[in-house]
Amino acid sequence: MQKLHIYNSLSGKKEEFIPLVPGKIGMYVCGPTLYSEPHMGNMRTFINFDFIYRCLLHLGYDVKYVRNITDAGHITNSAGQEVDSIGKVAKAEQLQSLEIVYKYNVKFQTLQQLYNLLPPSIEPTATSHIQEQIEAIEKILSNGYAYVTNGSVYFDVRAYMNDYPYGTLSGRKVDELEAETRTLQSQGEKRFFADFALWKKAHAEDMQIWRSPWGDGNPGWHIECTAMSTKYLGKSFDIHGGGMDLKFPHHEDEIAQNCGAFGCNPARFWLHANMLNVNGQKMSKSLGNFFLPKEIIEGSSPLFDKPYSPSVVRFFMLQSHYRSTLDFTKEAINASEKGFERLMEGMSLMEKIEPSQSSSFLVSDIIKATSDAICDDFNAPILIATLFDVVKHVHLLCDGKEQLTQEDLNLLKSIFTNMVHGVLGIEPVKKEENKRLEGVMEVIVALRQQAREQKNWNMSDMIREGLEKAGIQIKDNKEGTSWT
């Protein structure tokens, strides 16, 4: 198996990846919170980790991919403010929290299919792991890294810092943090500003309430990931992923909880996907500069003039590296769409190639280039560039300017389709099934062909221009006439 190098946020460097158990990988990725429909920025992260998952599978690893679903409102933030996002939406929509969660879960599952995300091995939900969360909290308590105040449990960062460093992932120092925190005054029940809730006492108006040894309440924001990653992957596993914006405090606190409970960092490799930008700024709910994955497919977003297929959107996103920010503009995705079509065209052209007695280039070079790209921190843009190189070869092969033996040809086809469908997860755009239109077009094309044979250019041009106005483009190829 080729050496795989992955950029590890913990060290800030690319490191050789060696799984804990040979041939097997445990990967945990922070999934959505079900209080609204995920926007395109959220999707980018899921698409990126789907690509990474596909890469790992392609490399032959047996991957256990866990992506959680947060269906319990996080009841606190580090400023001590009460923020129950799910409960808030539930009240606004006059529904129960469970209905909100169910509603957005259905939407999320639909989106996953639309965008061709492979289903994770398991998608555990926070609410069905309350017991595991309570047990994790008890562990942290008994290890002396948490305290109970008035029915709530807080992580004791100062006690923790006696035994472990805090802030290693995000590169923060607690004394600096303190000076920089803007909302020092609202510390509330916490002993120390950096402490965070593991369990929060319930309020009468809370919609989701669970029993616990400390009274009725709700789990804190970070503990679900600790509980569920431990349950499904163990105290220590290979890869933990998520969006860049979760690095602090969420992932930092996850590390603290895991160390506090089990004495070890949960993951050896931490991967962070970068943000999707709109006009150079992070796409976010609060800024309102977002559009939905559904809108771009339907063409209903005012930011774009037309719909794009999910594969085009995926392709567009994978043309940038997961650790880079990506600006989503009309111009950029239009450019990608053209490239996407060229790639797909190359793929179908490949079927027409006739095998030769000898090969004029090495397919093994191409295979090596693709796996080099994948093994260099999942470099999708380089992988795509390699595929365009294949497209170039395909054209030359069709023109008879290059040759491949049947064996090499089969190899080329297999690597190409494997990369496009299996690894990039993109599919040719299906033409709308419209039997009647197809029948009509067949007649029109035949009529035009007849006019052309009679050199009746007025007629043939009139047909062409008329169709153009109707949004149908005529393409005269050597083999005949096609339309789109």
Partner RNA sequence: GGUCUCGUGGCCGAGCGGCUAGGCACCGGUCUGCAAAACCGUCUACUCCGGUUCGAAUCCGGACGAGACCUCCA
> What DSSP designation does 127 have?
G
CB of 263 to RNA, least distance (A): 25
Question: From its phi and psi, is residue 179 left (phi > 0), alpha (psi between -120 and 50) or beta?
Answer: alpha
> What DSSP designation does 181 have?
-
Site for RNA in 298-327 (CB under 7 A): 319-321, 324-327
Rank residues 26 and 346 by Cβ distance to RNA and give the closer one: 346
Site for RNA in 26-55 (CB under 7 A): 30-33, 38-39, 41-42, 44-45
Rank residues 263 and 484 by Cβ distance to RNA and give the closer one: 484
- HSE-CB of 166 using CA atoms within 13 angstroms: 26
- HSE-CB of 441 using CA atoms within 13 angstroms: 18
Between CA 11 and CA 171 the distance in angstroms is: 10
Q: Which stretch binds RNA (CB under 7 A): 200-208, 240-248, 255-263, 411-419?
A: 240-248
Rank residues 94 and 286 by Cβ distance to RNA and give the closer one: 286
Rank residues 19 and 243 by Cβ distance to RNA and give the closer one: 243
221 is a site residue for RNA (CB under 7 A) = yes
Candidate residues 250, 268, 294, 314; the one interacting with RNA per rule CB under 7 A: 250
244 is a site residue for RNA (CB under 7 A) = yes
How many other C-beta atoms can be found within 10 angstroms of the C-beta atom of residue 177?
Answer: 18
DSSP H helical segments within 25-84, as ranges?
40-58
462 is a site residue for RNA (CB under 7 A) = no
Residue 67: strand, helix, or coil: strand
Candidate residues 119, 165, 171, 213; the one interacting with RNA per rule CB under 7 A: 171
For the chain, the residue count is 484
**Tokens read off for 293:** 């994955």
Site for RNA in 392-421 (CB under 7 A): 392, 395-396, 399
CB of 220 to RNA, least distance (A): 10
**Tokens read off for 278:** 């709109």
Interaction mask 183-202, RNA, x per CB under 7 A = x-------------------
The count of residues interacting with RNA (CB under 7 A) is 93
Residue 199: strand, helix, or coil: strand
138 is a site residue for RNA (CB under 7 A) = no
**Tokens read off for 126:** 């926070």
434 is a site residue for RNA (CB under 7 A) = no
CB of 271 to RNA, least distance (A): 10
Site for RNA in 337-356 (CB under 7 A): 338-339, 341-342, 345-346
267 is a site residue for RNA (CB under 7 A) = no
Q: How would DSSP label each residue in 228-270?
A: HHHHHH-SSEEEEEEEGGGIIIIIHHHHHHHHHHHSS-SEEEE
Candidate residues 192, 210, 248, 304; the one interacting with RNA per rule CB under 7 A: 248
Buried residues in 360-392 as b, exposed as e (16+ CB within 10 A) = eeebeebbebbbebbbbbbbbebbbebbeebbe
Rank residues 95 and 396 by Cβ distance to RNA and give the closer one: 396
Rank residues 62 and 468 by Cβ distance to RNA and give the closer one: 468
Between CA 212 and CA 219 the distance in angstroms is: 10
Q: Which stretch binds RNA (CB under 7 A): 102-110, 116-124, 147-155, 281-289?
A: 281-289
CB of 99 to RNA, least distance (A): 19
219 is a site residue for RNA (CB under 7 A) = no
Q: How far is CA 260 from CA 34, 141, 175, 348, in A?
A: 28, 9, 20, 55
276 is a site residue for RNA (CB under 7 A) = yes
372 is a site residue for RNA (CB under 7 A) = no
285 is a site residue for RNA (CB under 7 A) = yes
* Residue closest to 316 by CA, chosen among 285, 298, 293: 293
CB of 21 to RNA, least distance (A): 27
Q: Which stretch binds RNA (CB under 7 A): 51-59, 152-160, 376-384, 420-428?
A: 376-384
Q: Which stretch binds RNA (CB under 7 A): 50-58, 148-156, 387-395, 405-413?
A: 387-395
CB of 62 to RNA, least distance (A): 25
12 is a site residue for RNA (CB under 7 A) = yes
* Residue closest to 449 by CA, chosen among 476, 468, 483, 484: 476
Q: How far is CA 254 from CA 15, 25, 128, 405, 466, in A?
A: 22, 20, 19, 54, 62
Candidate residues 110, 131, 281, 450; the one interacting with RNA per rule CB under 7 A: 281
